């Protein structure tokens, strides 16, 4: 299959834009389109068409136990995909949608079982990206869309990342450049009391707690098959580069010490060490000796900036010859919690 590249500027996105019209037509006949959202690129299919959703699993090599998020663009679509909307969820959606928050709801009979991996709840979000919104409206159906990467790999924050993983496996990519948030949406089960944060992401725990009071963080139990978990995708090694990812304490001294030791060894073996480098953290003496591949990650503790650049950095460093990527671990506060989570899973 040839994958069609459909360039579009975010500011020009509306239902009549030729790229959107083309993409919508592909969706309507059961095809797959990668679309930008404000978090990461998603691989979209008509959520009401089980054969189309089946193709999403096949293209990504995603196991059938891992359910998909359904993307909507209006309140009407919410009542189509959910059988009921409790008031607490209504309230959350008013506060955070459109935006990077995914909420669990009771699945309606319209949503095929394959979308939710047979579970009674469906994960729903209303993306803020104008291209995603226009595509949903033009297609006229909710879109099931996981991140547009091969299963287990780093999520894509650009059309190039999507093509790297999925060129020839999907019908088209809407290319609107890099994404804003850079990590995936927060997944919240607010049907439970207290609400359970299944995946930290673009909406922070602190923002949720300001509305909900206490929010618990999900810790997947060990030794359980994915089918038995509250959110099956979250336990597996994930978001992972092919090089070995080594996490160090989030301070300059620990980072430099780890690099010094590793780079000496790498120089002897002719390999390279990749470094996710916070602004100003490298000494010239370390750079001059060779053996390092650097990615300028951004100002330490500015978690939003670091989140936007995380996956691009991991993909950039993950090239032939790079055996190990060294990365300082952010604090689990604000958006740092999502970074902490992704890096811990990638380093498993």
Strand-pair category, 172-175 with 4-7 = parallel
Minimum distance, C-beta of residue 116 to ligand TXA, in the bound complex (Å): 5
Tokens coding 142? 């909710």
**Residue placing its CB nearer to Mg ion in the complex, 125 or 262:** 125
| 341 φψ region: left (φ > 0), alpha (ψ -120 to 50), beta (else) | alpha
Task: Answer yes or no whether residue 146 interacts with ligand TXA by CB under 6 A.
Answer: yes
Tokens coding 321? 């010859």
CA distance 38 to 251: 30
CA distance 338 to 294: 23
CB 337 within 8 A of CB 205: yes
| 311 φψ region: left (φ > 0), alpha (ψ -120 to 50), beta (else) | alpha
Total residue length of the chain: 348
Q: Which of 147, 157, 158, 186 binds Mg ion (CB under 5 A)?
A: 147
Task: Answer yes or no whether residue 185 interacts with Mg ion by CB under 5 A.
Answer: no
Minimum distance, C-beta of residue 204 to ligand TXA, in the bound complex (Å): 14
**Residue placing its CB nearer to Mg ion in the complex, 163 or 273:** 163
Question: Of 90-98, 144-152, 195-203, 240-248, which segment contacts Mg ion by CB under 5 A?
Answer: 144-152
Q: Which residues 6+ apart lie within 8 Å of 123 measured at CB? A: 67, 68, 69, 70, 102, 103, 104, 116, 187
Please provide residue 202's backbone torsions phi and psi, each rounded to the nearest 5 degrees. -60, -25
Interface of this chain with ligand TXA, residues 51 to 70, rule: CB under 6 A: 66-69
Question: Of 90-98, 144-152, 209-217, 339-347, which segment contacts ligand TXA by CB under 6 A?
Answer: 144-152
> Which of 27, 37, 26 lies closest to 176 in space, CA to CA?
37
**Residue placing its CB nearer to ligand TXA in the complex, 18 or 225:** 225
Minimum distance, C-beta of residue 166 to Mg ion, in the bound complex (Å): 13
Please provide residue 192's backbone torsions phi and psi, each rounded to the nearest 5 degrees. -90, 160
Task: Answer yes or no whether residue 121 interacts with ligand TXA by CB under 6 A.
Answer: yes
313 interface partner picked from ligand TXA, Mg ion, none, CB below 5 to 8 A per type:
none
State the binding string over 162-201 for ligand TXA (x if CB under 6 A, else -): ----------------------xx-x----------xx--
Contacts with Mg ion by CB under 5 A: the residue count is 1
SS3 state at 247: strand
Nearest position to ligand TXA, beta carbon: 233
Minimum distance, C-beta of residue 163 to Mg ion, in the bound complex (Å): 17
Binding site for Mg ion (CB under 5 A): 147
Q: What residues make contact with ligand TXA under the rule CB under 6 A? A: 37, 39-40, 42, 66-69, 100, 102, 104, 116, 119, 121-123, 145-147, 184-185, 187, 198-199, 231-234
């Amino acid at each position: 299959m040839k994958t069609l590249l459909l360039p579009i500027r975010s500011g020009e996105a509306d239902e009549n834009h030729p790229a959107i019209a083309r993409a919508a037509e592909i969706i309507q006949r059961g095809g797959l389109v990668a679309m930008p959202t404000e978090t990461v690129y998603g691989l979209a299919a008509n959520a009401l068409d089980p054969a189309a959703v089946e193709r999403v699993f096949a293209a990504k090599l995603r196991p059938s136990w891992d359910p998909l998020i359904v993307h909507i663009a209006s309140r009407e679509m919410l009542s189509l995909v959910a059988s009921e909307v409790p008031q607490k969820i209504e309230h959350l959606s008013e506060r955070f949608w459109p935006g990077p928050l995914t909420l669990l709801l009771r699945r309606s009979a319209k949503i095929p079982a394959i979308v939710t991996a047979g579970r009674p709840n469906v994960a729903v979000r209303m993306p803020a990206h104008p291209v995603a919104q226009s595509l949903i409206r033009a297609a006229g159906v909710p879109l099931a869309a996981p991140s547009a990467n091969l299963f287990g790999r780093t999520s894509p924050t650009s059309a190039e990342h999507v093509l790297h993983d999925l060129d020839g496996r999907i019908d088209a990519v809407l290319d609107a450049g890099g994404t804003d948030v850079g990590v995936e949406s927060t997944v919240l089960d607010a049907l439970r009391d207290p609400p359970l944060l299944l995946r930290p992401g673009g909406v922070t725990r602190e923002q949720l707690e300001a509305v909900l009071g206490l929010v618990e963080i999900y810790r997947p139990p060990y030794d359980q098959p994915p089918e038995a978990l509250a959110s099956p995708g979250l336990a597996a090694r994930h978001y992972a580069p092919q090089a070995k990812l080594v996490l160090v304490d989030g301070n300059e001294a620990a980072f430099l010490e780890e690099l010094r030791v590793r780079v000496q060894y790498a120089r002897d073996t002719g390999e390279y060490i990749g470094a996710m480098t916070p602004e100003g953290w490298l000494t010239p003496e370390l750079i001059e000796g060779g053996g390092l591949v650097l990615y300028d990650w951004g100002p330490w503790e500015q978690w939003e900036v670091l989140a936007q650049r995380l996956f691009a950095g991991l993909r950039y460093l993950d090239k032939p010859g790079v055996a190990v990527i060294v990365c300082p671990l952010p604090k689990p506060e604000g958006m740092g919690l999502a970074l902490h989570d992704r890096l811990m899973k990638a380093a498993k």
